[in-house]
């Protein structure tokens, strides 16, 4: 299988307090993910899951170590090329949605396509919205939508872009059970078609349906579990570090 993500000995530090004391959020993390692979990242709150996702995706430069996406180090690209690389190759479902309140739902969804000068297939997009149980009017501004409907807009925006890598930070957190299953099924389908999916989740059952799960604790990668089961994941999360 072709490697599409390769991170080597990554550390991430942030400065805190008036004295700018460094706090290390990620400790020497190394990981590879292949095309067509669905990887889940689990761990307790504060483990560094979202930080790892941001570093892996090219959004937050590591303090040390290397990140390679599709053979490219995004942190060595100039700003314009880095933006184009992320736009053309990478999709990101943010926990905070990152939508534009001043635009209707439909325009938020197609924004990446317009920026990339790609054709907009309205029929396909409306079909997708129906498939993910989007119940609001797509012409309504996203600021008027519920949290769950906003999350569906953020998900649809990524799904229509045909990205080779999708990073998803708690993509189903605000959704009902039926919608969670639908969204997970669509991500699973994309992985089966060759996309690389990396998902942070607190949902153990969902993580157990991915190809590989990694557990983080205190910024350290503790376990890599292939074809995980819910029992294995619960056990991994409950183990005390010696």
Domain count, the chain: 1
Q: With bands split at pLDDT 50, 70 and 90, how would you rate the model's confidence at 19?
A: low
Domain limits at 154? 3-238
List, for residues 126-144, the tens digit of each pLDDT value.
Answer: 999 999 999 999 999 999 9
Q: How far apart (Å, rounded) are the C-alpha atoms in residues 137 and 239?
A: 47
CATH number, domain at 148? 3.40.50.300
| pLDDT score for 149 | 93
pTM tops 0.85: yes
Q: With bands split at pLDDT 50, 70 and 90, how would you rate the model's confidence at 241?
A: low
The values of phi and psi at residue 17, to 5°, are: 75, 170
């Amino acid at each position: 299988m072709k490697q599409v993500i390769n991170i080597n000995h990554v550390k991430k530090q942030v400065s805190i307090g008036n004295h700018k004391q460094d706090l290390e959020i990620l400790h020497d993390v190394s990981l590879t993910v292949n095309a067509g692979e669905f990887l889940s990242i689990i761990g307790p709150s504060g483990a560094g899951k979202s930080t790892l996702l941001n570093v892996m995706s090219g959004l937050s430069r590591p303090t040390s170590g290397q990140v390679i996406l599709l053979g490219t180090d995004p942190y060595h690209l100039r700003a314009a090329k880095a933006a184009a690389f992320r736009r053309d190759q990478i999709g990101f479902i943010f926990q905070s949605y990152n939508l534009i309140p001043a635009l209707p739902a439909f325009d938020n969804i197609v924004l990446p396509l317009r920026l990339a000068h790609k054709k907009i297939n309205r029929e396909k997009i409306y079909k997708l919205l129906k498939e993910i149980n989007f119940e609001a009017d797509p012409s309504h501004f996203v600021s008027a939508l519920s949290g769950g409907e906003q999350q569906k807009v953020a998900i649809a925006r990524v799904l229509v872009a045909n990205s080779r890598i999708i990073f998803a930070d708690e993509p189903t957190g605000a959704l009902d059970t039926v919608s969670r299953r639908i969204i997970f099924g669509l991500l699973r389908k994309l992985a089966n078609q060759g996309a690389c999916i990396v998902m942070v989740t607190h949902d153990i059952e969902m993580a157990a349906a991915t190809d590989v799960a990694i557990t983080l604790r205190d910024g350290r990668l503790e376990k890599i579990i292939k074809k995980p089961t819910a029992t294995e994941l619960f056990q991994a999360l409950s183990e005390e570090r010696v």
